[in-house]
Amino acid sequence: MYKVKVFVTLKESVLDPQGSAVKSSLHRMAYHEVSDVRIGKYLELTIDGPAESLDHRIQEMCHKLLSNPVIEDYRYEVEEVVAL
């Protein structure tokens, strides 16, 4: 079994109005050191499948559904879960 952590973020070239709003809020709270905020998504998948096709299938999932390649990038981390 694998636990896969997927991080989906807006591409650098795409403005993030939510991030901008959060940044202004942090500035109003006097955290002036914050120069940028970008909001993304974090997904955890538990996968029960063979190791060989794992990367390929995760990339397929990210490309087809979990992210929108027009505006988003993704990266992921795979953790093997050992059953006790």
Residues forming the site for another protein (CB under 8 A) = 13-15, 17-18, 21, 41, 65-66, 68, 70-71
Question: Nearest distance from residue 48's CB to another protein, in Å?
Answer: 21
Long-range contacts of 67-75 (CB under 8 A, 24+ apart): 67/8, 71/10, 71/11, 71/14, 72/8, 72/9, 72/10, 72/11, 72/14, 73/8, 73/9, 73/10, 73/11, 74/6, 74/7, 74/8, 74/9, 75/6, 75/7
Question: Nearest distance from residue 57's CB to another protein, in Å?
Answer: 16
Cβ closest to another protein, residue 65 vs residue 82: 65
Cβ closest to another protein, residue 13 vs residue 46: 13
